[in-house]
Structure 1
Amino acid sequence: MVFVLALLLALANPFSLKAQTVDEVIDHIQDFYQTIQTLEAEFIQEAYISQGHKEVSSGRLWIKKPGKFRWEYYRPQKLFIISSGKSIYFYYPEEKQALVYPSGTTFGSKLALGFMTGRGNIKTDLKVESFQTLDNDFWKLNFLTANNDQKVRRISLVVNPKSGEVKEVILNMASGETLRIIFNNLQYNKSLKDSLFQFSPPKDVRVIQAQSN
């Protein structure tokens, strides 16, 4: 009798079971990235701009907690985004120019990848809007930014629901642009030197102190 009553209550309110499962997946994501110290991956970035126009770029990514990262874009043109944890450099080799920002004030949103770099908490920084299961048994979780972020309206994560490993990040920007970042060949807890996250500009490179936005 107790089992039948429990079953009827579950059928009457199926979202309660789904919400609990979503909470568990979010816990897995947070726990997964709390246990790693470094991350290395290849990535493909798709930028959807206006009228269906898509720009594709690719490169490599390194992350070292807390707050250090290095994005190297190899195509269609070279771009290096380097954070020492204190400053972020956008280095354009072909233009011989580098822009420097205070850490956490640019690169889309400080919430977007904060949980991966050790400077955020997905459970407090983001609010679940919806979710869906994908054909490959991964989940797609759609979030609203919980802290009135001015740059990103929504963040979606494609994750392994059992491990919490993130395979894709999709950013719906306030500007109307959508960025999709796909990670491949992910490796964790490799030894990464701090020098990888330092930027020493060549003598012929102009360094501009940019204003935070």
Structure 2
Amino acid sequence: MSKWSATIGLWLLVIGLGVGWPAPECRGNDGAQLDTILQGLEQRYAGKGFAAAFFQESILKAMRITDTAEGHLTVMRPGKMRWEYTIPDPQTIITDGRTMWIHRPLDNQVMVGKAPAYFGEGKGAGFLSDIRQIRNSFTVTLQPAESDNHHRLRLVPHEPSDELAEIILSVDIQQFQIDQVVTYNTAGDETRIVLRDYRFNIEPEENLFQFAIPENADVIQMDQF
């Protein structure tokens, strides 16, 4: 598998969530603590936009393949994201909430799809562009923490699919920022994203979430697959 295939695996593995506005699944003291955590998240990500550096690791269990990548993320609420990969190769994933573009400049190739199919209702880490989708699209439970500095949340989509079984979030106890997102499918494949160097309450330029296809680029329509 190419590094390109592993990179877009984040988006192609995480599909098929439900809709609605139910309260998180919770009981007793855990329920009160969970609601406090979710409120803290919603307040932290309530600004117009944020930016962060990211490290991504994709593990395909059956094929025993692990690929890594890193870059920079810019988000404008709601629904707009720009993932700029710098390592191992430059490539950019952009959505304006309606259209998604994946640009591979070294190959002069652009993949184009409908954003809701890949990011809508929290899919494809789309909840980062509207944190309220955590309540909207998932059953959320509080899990035993792995460190004293983080809460651990388990997110199960209301309508699980082969592509998405669960997501584990590590949430900073003090800042209520998401420091790690780990996504699993039913085959046990894993995509881990570590977020750092946050800049909250920024106002990104609208043109960051638009894309003009370069002349003579090889254009692939993802909706045809």
Asked if the contact 1:156/1:170 (under 8 Å) is kept, the reply is yes
Runs (5+) with no aligned partner, structure 1: 1-14
CA–CA separation in structure 2 for the residues paired with 1:63 and 1:130: 26
Q: 2:116 aligns with which of 104, 113, 129?
A: 104
Over residues 91-146 of structure 1, what are the superposed CA-to-partner deviations in whole Å (9 max), with x where a residue is unaligned?
A: 11122111111112126984353332127521231112451223242111112112
- The equivalent of 1:44 in structure 2 is 55
Q: 1:146 aligns with which of 158, 179, 192?
A: 158
Asked if the contact 1:39/1:190 (under 8 Å) is kept, the reply is yes
> Alignment partner of 2:153: what SS?
strand
Runs (5+) with no aligned partner, structure 2: 1-26
The TM-score, its normalising length taken from structure 1, stands at 0.82
Which one has a bigger Cα radius of gyration? 1
Aligned pairs for 1:1-213 (under 5 A) are 16-33=28-45, 35-50=46-61, 52-106=64-118, 110-118=122-130, 120-149=132-161, 151-174=163-186, 176-211=188-223
Identity level (%): 23
Higher RCO, Cα 8 Å, sep 6+: 2
- How far has the Cα of 1:174 moved from its partner? 4.0
CA–CA separation in structure 2 for the residues paired with 1:141 and 1:123: 12
CA–CA separation in structure 1 for the residues paired with 2:179 and 2:204: 21
Asked if the contact 1:109/1:151 (under 8 Å) is kept, the reply is no
CA–CA separation in structure 2 for the residues paired with 1:171 and 1:77: 23
How many residues matched? 198
Over residues 23-63 of structure 1, what are the superposed CA-to-partner deviations in whole Å (9 max), with x where a residue is unaligned?
A: 22122223322x22111111000111125532110000100
The TM-score, its normalising length taken from structure 2, stands at 0.78
